[in-house]
Structure 1
Amino acid sequence: MTLSAPDTVSPAAPLDLLDLFGEGFVRDPYPWLDALRADAPVHHDPRTGLWLVSRHEDIRRVLLDPDAFLPDNAQRAVTPLPVGALRVLARAGFRLPAALANNGTASHPGLRRVVTRFFNARRVAAAVPVIERVADELLTAAAERIDAVGDGDLFTSFAQVLPCRVLMELLGIDDVPAATLIRWSDASLELFWGRPTPERQLELAPLVAEFHQWLTRTVRDGAARPGSFIAALGEHRLPDGERLDVATAVGACFFVFVAGQSTTGQLIATVLRRALAEEGLWARLAGEPGLAEAWVEEVLRREPPVTTWRRITARPVELGGVTLPEGAQVLLMLMGSGSDPEVFTAPEELCPHRAEVRHHLAFGVGRHRCPGASLARTEAAVALRAAARRLPGVRPAESADVPMLGLLSFRAPLRVAVTRS
């Protein structure tokens, strides 16, 4: 079954106009991604100093060679922080030592095992009733609003909140409101992956500092619930037998919390928005087995929430016909790789159940593949199916100028407006 393309196919964009944070790229990145793949698969971007890698084959090679392409820069601030923001973070004791996404050392496999134990297939299956319960609660409130006033926003009322509430239950967090965790996580994404003004950075830094201080207290004081994820990190031993230090445990928690709630919420928002816009699909999602899962997978391929990821070269290396020097900052265009015609037939079309869909790189591949991939897929499919069942009479109400999150590595709609049919 082939459905319509999610975006109008535009002519290839001139690469000298490329601005990774610009309104044109954020709203419709596909012309630039197509131009990069076709004309400059390893392209130096003068605005950011990053080497953009856009072909599926090259991206996969980078991800599978962590010795030549180090993860050390994965969580560095894209926009240099001003002195004032650095002082705020320093006073809070903020630092992100090598833990998960930014860890290429011998400690990574053990830390990763701690994380994957909490997101394995058994735990994800056991989490489905939790996801369904929280989804039903949130959708009931959303339905009441739509019935009362005729419209609503499924991002702020549902997509954004669901993964945070689920993660809190799974990880044993009950001493902070979900709204606070969402605010902290979103501030962290913007500060480290955005292009905020110096004034905005000074607004974001205190929120990130609060987040880090809360994580530090929770890890250091042994306040985590026994058997919880945070407690497991506190008990973890490094390869030399030493107990994991507080700063590294906090760094692991920082990444898991941001990835486990913000990016999953962004995925759910995109999945809902695309499904609502596809004629005839919404009515089928509630009852057709496997359709929600297939739709989620296609959205992950074509429009993943994590659009790029960074690496740094450990030595001079040839990639895509270009010799990169040691220390080159590499940006893997994950979103563009999902539309590579060498891998995917008619990549601009959303085709549920396409044979090659699992070849996408939305969750990475290899040593640093996202450990929460199964949970994210499951949450998005359960959320989509639940929304279609609970809100059968809604249709999209958004205009073409729907606000978009446009950070270096994260892109998603910030509103999923619906109205009664």
Structure 2
Amino acid sequence: MTASAATSFDAAAVAAQFPILQRDVDGKRIVYLDSGATAQKPAAVIETIEQSFRLHNANIHRGVYTLAQEATDRFEGARATIARFVGARSPETIFTKNVTEAINLVAYSWGRANVGAGDTIVLTPMEHHANIVPWQQLAKERGARLAYVELTADGRLDLDSLDRLLALEPKLVAVAHISNVLGTVNPVEEIVRRAHAAGAVVLVDGAQAVPQRPVDVAAIGADFYGFTGHKVYGPTGVGVLHGRRELLEAMEPFLTGGDMISQVDFDGSTWKELPWKFEAGTSPYVEATGLGAAVEWLDGLGREAVHAHEAEITRYAMERLAEVPGLTIYGPAAEHRGALVSFALEGAHPHDVADILGRDQICVRAGHHCAQPLMRRLGVPATTRASFGAHTTRADVDALIDGLHGVRRIFGL
């Protein structure tokens, strides 16, 4: 990642590829700073989805006629493209509804076969609810216990605390690659190495990481790595779980029914091979083609260039936010964070901040960000979050800062 790469990256030209960003609402341009919640879709993705419906729509893995073969080829081709994008292999690349379903799949199919009474599951306080609640349910059902890694004062994981918990020989460590609130980039390769040395299985929630930076799941070495399509400039309704083959082969299906079976008799059934064993029913084949197009589009921009640009925008945003009186930024320094900043403005509730900004079509997120335990650690009920994408420009950040000064004027701060 270099400064020159960020300087040469033309975010305005990238923004021109997003039809929605060309809209004017009440005469105001859209300043979209909520990519951490969902990314907007470039024309290449929209066109691919339209083509799938318009020209190639048929149920996959069933028909032998041309449309069905085309739909199947596009679906499985998207799987191969997505696997290559993150350094994985197709058989271990499972389509899910989103990363939430991916984590639940692991909790049900692996967790209920491997976690028992008295076992420990290690989490972190910065996890999204999707990487807490499934493990709470598993622990409650199995009589296991949850333990949380401590945070440093600047919102990073305390690896000494992790080592103390690993000494308890936990069955599982589940960790976000990048926090959706603090922006903290966790050292997942090091965490995996330490956890494996302690005999633990590791699941990484990559929902925020895959859109922002090159991810190589083989190099990371986690047993399970999941992400969601709509944050990677793809459609909703499709996510991805990558798993270690021997674990996936040993696991029972999460959902059962059509298309995941090899044979069904009156008294029992057998399952298909990977990855189809975990893809019951009609898969989101149109959405999968859209996600395949999205990662191809992102790859075409150059993932290192996108990463460098978003890092530069994040640094710039933190510098400009520091100019706003009474504003507190949560999380680590720019060099340790992904492309988002959560903050609070003294004297104004985060929801009011977001509402006033929204009147000028400055789109930010306010709330607990599906991370209520972390909010309690921070001592706040909510924050306002600005999250950035490949299309974010310095002018977008400047609009945010101008909007925040407007909030201060309205509240007389």
TM-score by length of 2: 0.30
Q: Whose helix proportion is higher, 1 or 2?
A: 1
Q: Whose strand proportion is higher, 1 or 2?
A: 2
Bigger RCO of structures 1 and 2 (CA < 8 A, at least 6 apart)? 1
TM-score by length of 1: 0.29
